[in-house]
Amino acid sequence: MKYLLAILLLFLVSCNKDVIVSPSENLTGVPVMNIYAEPESLSKLRANKILNTEIPVEVHFEDYVYTATLRSAGSGSKYHPRWGFKVSLQHGAIDGLKTFNLSSQVYDRTGMNTLLAIKLYEAVGLKTHSARSVFIRINDHDEGLYPMIERIDSAFFDKRGHKYSELYKLSFDTKFSLAGGFIPEYVIDKEIPKDDNYSSLYQLFHALDEAYSDSTKLAILKNHLDVENYLKYHALTSLLNNYDAFTNNFLLLKSNYDAPFEVIPWDFDKCFSLDANVGAFGDNEIIRTLFKYKEYRVIYKSLVNQIANLYFNENFLFPIIDNYATQIKDAYKLDPYLGKEGRYIFDNEMSQLKNFITNRYNEIKAELNSF
């Protein structure tokens, strides 16, 4: 009798386990990252996400267990129900990364903006970080589909053998001008080195102001800004219609003391936007200054045409989209902020994305040809 009761109990437990298993645990297209924290610590993190509170966690990923710390990441997204995380592993590495972000990408309705943007920026020759899709669960609760993003820091440059002297990260509504009393330190973070010396940034902004009003100062500007690099960035970002990436969401790098600044793109959830239209060229003080000179208007126009013909088109992007769609579709449907309960329909979002790419160049061609 006891033997039969034991078998019955085991059967009931097994059945109960089958009932409570989350469908996300059986995902195959993207790997599942399980993060475990003490409930009290997790509550503390959620209550203090604006303050970058850090808590100890365990990360279970691809058959390995890592001790780590977890804190919130992002700027405006911290005020959103779906917010990002910074993970710092205490031992080992994932994809060669000891520290990485799980980016919330709150405005990305496709689940693949970051992956597509990286492909495009790489194609035009700009420095980019690595990223891949993962499905995040915290204490067995589905957080959703996130890009796991490499941070742009000293390890990023060391890994690639790139030189670096100074690195600045833009924040909201940066002005690339000293006119009007703009103070760079108030809205721009100096990442490398972590000090208060912003002199090279002041020199860049001063050179932009001078070149805007005096053509004899253009040569000086080119000592402070890699103009070709910037025009590539601006051309592609305009094609992407990423309206949040002209005064925000990129980094400025000096590879050495004498080198001009170059741009490194960052944060892509507002790419392919249907909410606003930057036209053929998004606006900021840099492009206003460069467009004072016919040679740069000609180069910019040529760059937009070249990028559209080579990369921003159906032949280049649609196979990439189809490949990513196969990988993330099931995870997308389980994401509580994307496809779960029908908030967004995956196939519809893919169609809208492809339509945007098909139509974007034609939308801006007339404007481009008129200047």
Task: List the chain pLDDT tens, one digit each, 371 residues.
Answer: 333 333 333 444 344 444 466 888 889 999 999 999 999 999 999 999 888 899 999 999 999 999 999 999 987 777 888 999 999 999 999 999 999 999 999 999 999 999 999 999 999 999 999 999 999 999 999 999 999 999 999 999 999 999 999 999 998 889 999 998 999 999 999 999 999 999 999 999 999 999 999 999 999 999 999 999 999 999 999 999 999 999 999 999 999 999 999 999 999 999 999 989 999 999 999 999 999 999 999 999 999 999 999 999 999 999 999 999 999 999 999 999 999 988 899 999 999 999 999 999 999 988 888 87
Name every residue whose Cβ is closer than 8 Å to that of residue 183 and which is 6 or more positions away in sequence.
none
Can you tell me the distance from the alpha carbon of 260 to that of 262, in angstroms, rounded to the nearest whole number? 6
* β-bridge pairing 131-138 and 99-102: unpaired
Name the residue with tokens 């977890």: 70
C-alpha span between 263 and 128 (Å, rounded): 10
Domain ranges across the chain = 23-102+128-150, 162-312+359-369
What pLDDT score does 51 carry? Answer: 86
3-state SS track over 327-365? HHHHHHHHCCCCCHHHCCCHHHHHHHHHHHHHHHHHHHH
Q: What is the predicted pLDDT for the residue at 3? A: 37
Q: Are 229 and 138 in contact (CB under 8 A)?
A: no
Largest CA distance in the chain: 99
CA distances to 230, 270, 311 from 121, in Å: 12, 15, 10
Tell me whether the omega of the peptide bond preceding residue 193 falls within 30 degrees of 0, making it cis.
Answer: yes
Rounded to 10 deg, the angle between the 346-369 and 227-239 helix axes is 130
Residue 328 to residues 231, 309, 337, 349, Cα–Cα distance (Å): 33, 28, 14, 13
Phi, psi angle pair for 120, to nearest 5°: -70, -45
